[in-house]
Each structure stands twice: as structure tokens, then as C-alpha cells.
Structure 1
Amino acid sequence: MIIPAIDLIGGKVVRLFQGDYAQKTEYSASPQDRFDLYVSEGARYLHLVDLDGARDPAARQLETIASLIKNTPVPVEIGGGIRSRKDVEDLLNIGADRVVIGSCAVKNPTEVKEWFRDYGASHIVLALDINIDPVSGKRFIAVKGWQENSGVTIEDLIADYREAGLRYVLCTDISKDGTLKGTNVALYTDLHREFPDISFIASGGIGSLDDVRNTAQSGAFGVVLGRALLEGKFTVKEALECWPNA
């Protein structure tokens, strides 16, 4: 699955470099225009990150997001600072197909597992952003906007959430994010081998169609495409041609 993505600040399409709000690029097209383009090129699923909501859930851009969902004919998943049951309900109530849970999944596993039970695993994605220890090779999940090492490995967290029915994991190698220098194919290959029942969505570093092809061979369920599409490295249509059964 090819999943085009946009990030929003103040209703405008932006990109951050490795999650740093101080390194922000703003794009001229409106979020609706961008979604319309991606759908016209064949996208069947879209990803949106509310960066205002990520910093402060009270600043969540619900009105903008609701309008985008209403006027977009394909399902949309939403992430960005989802930390409470109300956050989940607000987004599902305005039509989000899936909500993307990040740091909260590490910090409050008991509560998040209740959300799996109450709203269904098909409506929840765990976003697990990792730093790989250069000595041990362990893959530790980062929290607090990538500023803090949780001390929990991605493998341990996935194993814990399996009992709750975990289906989707959006996994980002932080060192690759925003670089356009290729994604960590070995990471997704290893995770797919260890957890074949989980649908892994690759994210970070895709800069060329070769990167898309390589990721498709890793066993990943899908790939999120952000900066590469915004900067015209290739189109959604071209990416779809590189992903078997897309």
C-alpha cells in the first residue's frame, strides 16, 4: 500500500526535518489541493499528522481535519499527540479511519490496550519511532517528540500489544526521516520475519522510486510518502507501479 502523507501546522502543509519544529519547510499548496492531487494519481489511503496537536492536544486542528476527511473520497488516518480517550473519540467521530498512537502506547499501555478493545484494532495504528543503538544494535523507541529514549525496544512493545490484537505498526527509523537517502529496508525485513502477523508501514527516508521498490521487497505492508511527493521526486502513480498489488 502506498500512503501519501501531509503534516499540518496552522492549516498549512509543512515538513519538519527529523521532527525539529525549528527546521520547518512550508509548502504553497493547500492540504485539500494536495489530497486531491494524490487521489487523482491513484492513492487509496492517506495519512495526516496534526503537528499543532502533537505539541498541544488542546490546539488540535479538528475543524480543518474534519473538512479534509469530508471532502476526500478515500480513508484518512490521523496522528499527532493522541494521548487520551477523548482524542481518539474526537478523531473517530469526525470520520478518521484510523488513529495513530505514538508515545502514549509506551507510557500508558494499559489505557491504550483498552482503546484497542473499545474501538477495535482495525482503527488503531501504533507509531513506533526508533533509534538504533550503534553498539548493541537494539532498536529503542523514542518518545517526547524523539527527544527521549524510552528504554523499550520495538520488539518488546509489539510482543506486549499482540494480546490486544495489534494489527498495524507505523515504524520510522529516526535517522532516516526527512533525508531522502533511502529507508531502513533491513529493519522492516527483520520485523516482518519476526512478526509476520503484523502489518508494518515503513516511514522515513524515501527519496526515489528505487527506495519504494526496495521497501516493497522487505515484506512491509505499506509505505508512507511525505517529502518526496511534496518535492516532486516522483508521483503517486509512479510509486504505485513499484509496489506489487498496490
Structure 2
Amino acid sequence: MTLYPAIDLKDGKAVRLTKGLMDSAKIYSDKPWSLVQKFEQMGAEWVHLVDLNGAFAGEPRNLKEIIKIRQNCNVKLELGGGIRDEKTIKKMLEIGIDRIVLGSIAVTNPEFVKEMASKYPIAVGIDAIDGFVAVEGWADVSTMKAIDLAKEYASAGVEAIICTDVSKDGTLAGVNVEFTLDIARVSGISTIASGGVKDESDIEALIATNEVDGVIIGKAYYEGRLDLQKMFKLLN
């Protein structure tokens, strides 16, 4: 089980949202790069970055902060939010991002995503509201079921699927284990759970499945509900 501490970037600051609503943003740091250093010291191998402004704009908007994060840590970084063409993918990889997360475009243009996965380290982000895929920074809900999208990428060469139950995200209400398992089983791809992690019990529940490979941790850490350093020691 790989733990992915998360940093969501909005206007250059590290924030967390509730259910993906931008006006719910709570600021946790105006120095996101210092958070990454802290995660690295705790034992993190990966950190999950989201450019929230980029997710809504359809193009990266926190590039200055992303570059500074890369320059100040040695952990692997995965990045999502507004990355929708090959030029941007290449640019992000050139500045040192280790894996690109494609979300909205995975719904609207799966052939493009499959082509990119054959060339670059790509993860697909599947974000669901009531079982249907949410796009454009979760502002819209498509007519596609999350399960069907996962099937679409079953043999597409993507490195991982990151699945988020939007109704749980930022709520500390507990991770949706069943949803995550469904995605893992139909895709056969390394699956990372996201949304709603409240404490150690959620991580233990995911580990017990033997079918989920990772979990993204955000508000549970920032609100002091989860001892991240302890969890890294247990898992390493």
C-alpha cells in the first residue's frame, strides 16, 4: 500500500476542498513546497499534486508553485488538473513531474489518453458523483458510469487509476472501499483510492482488500486525524 499525501493548489496556496467546491477551500499553507519537504522527511515516496485552478481553466495555472515544489524535494510527484494536450504533458515531465494524471480528457477523448499512455507515465483520474463520472473540476457530471470508464482503460497501458468518490472528498466521512474495489476489479489496473479518508481504519480497510494499491491522504492529515509518520513507519 502506497500512501500519497496530497497537496491541492489554489492561487498558489495549499488548500483542501469539501466535495470539490472551490468556495469551500480551506488554506493550510502559503508555502506548498515546505509541505512536500515535510512529507519527504516522514517517509513519503510519492506526493499527489492537483492544480485546482487548472482543473477549472483547462490548463495549468499554478506552474510557479509546481516548479518550486519540484526544486525542493526528491520524492516522486504525480500531477493532475487542467492537463489536456500532449504539449502540456511534455512540459510537465520536462520540469520533473514523474506521472501525469488525466481526468476530464479521459472521458472526452479516450483514444488520446491511450496514445499518451503508450509514450508517457500516465494515470487516469476517475471522479464519480452517484456512480457517474464528474468532469471539468467536478463542475459537471457526464452520462458515463465510472465503472464503464474503468473498463475502457483495462488494457490501455496506463500506470494507475485514481478513483474518487466526490461525495466523500474532504468530508472525513470514510473512504468508499466498495467503489474503489469495483474500479480495481473491472480495470485490472493498479488502483489508488481517494476521497473521504478519515483515519487509520480507512487505510487498514483498504489494505485488507489485497486489491487496492494506494490511497491519497489529504484532510485527515491536515486536520490531525491521522498520524502520517506512524503510517509510513508501519508500511515501510
TM-score w.r.t. the length of structure 1 is 0.88
Of 189, 208, 211, the residue aligned with 1:217 is 208
- Shift of residue 223, structure 1, vs aligned partner: 0.2
Corresponding residue number in structure 2 for 1:227: 219
| Cα deviations by residue, 1:13-71 (Å, 9 ceiling, x for unpaired) | 11111111111101136212111111111111111111122222455222221121122
Deviation of residue 224 (structure 1)?
0.3
* Partners of 2:81 and 2:133 in 1: CA distance: 16
Whether 2:75 is the aligned partner of 1:74: answer yes
What corresponds to 1:136 in structure 2? Answer: none
- Cα distance in 1 between the residues matched to 2:165 and 2:58: 25
Deviation, structure 1 residue 79: 0.8
1:111 is displaced (CA, Å) by 1.7
Whether the aligned pair in 1 keeps the contact of 2:51 and 2:60 (CA below 8 Å) is no
Amino acid at match of 2:149: L
1:97-246 alignment runs, 5 A limit = 97-119=98-120, 123-132=121-130, 139-195=131-187, 197-218=188-209, 219-241=211-233, 243=235, 246=236
Higher alpha-carbon deviation: 167-176 or 59-68: 59-68
Question: SS of the counterpart of 1:158?
Answer: helix
- Paired with 1:189 and 1:169, the residues of 2 have a C-alpha distance of 12
Distance 2:81 2:59 in 1: 12
Q: CA deviation at 1:89?
A: 1.2
| Counterpart position of 1:10 | 11
SS for the counterpart of 2:96 is coil
- What's 1:61 paired with? 62
Q: Structure 1 segments of 4 or more deviating over 6 A?
A: none
Matched letter for residue 100 of structure 2: V
Compared CA separation, residues 2 and 23, structure 1 to 2 (3 A): same
Mark the runs of 5 or more structure 1 residues left unpaired by the alignment. 133-138
Q: Secondary structure at the match of 1:217?
A: helix
How many residue pairs match? The answer is 234
Go from structure 1 to structure 2 and tell me whether the alpha carbon gap of 1:200 and 1:57 turns closer, same or farther (over 3 Å shift). Answer: same
CA, structure 1 residues 35+99, in 2 after alignment: closer, same or farther (shift >3 Å)? same
Aligned residue for 2:129, secondary structure, equals strand
Query: Structure 1, residues 172-216: CA drift from partner, whole Å, max 9, x if none?
Result: 011111110101111223333334x31110001011111111122
Give the whole-Å Cα distance in 2 for the aligned partners of 1:157 and 1:193: 13
Aligned to 2:25: 24
Identical-residue share of aligned pairs (%) = 39
Q: Compute the displacement of 1:128 (Å).
A: 0.3
Return the offset for 1:118: 2.5
Task: Give the counterpart letter for 1:205 in structure 2.
Answer: G
Equivalent in the alignment of 2:46: 45
* Structure 1 residues 114 and 160: CA distance shift in structure 2, 3 A: same
What SS does the aligned partner of 2:118 have?
helix
Normalization by structure 2: what TM-score? 0.92
* SS of alignment partner, residue 82 of structure 1: coil
Distance 2:111 2:186 in 1: 24
What is the one-letter code of the residue matched to 1:144? E
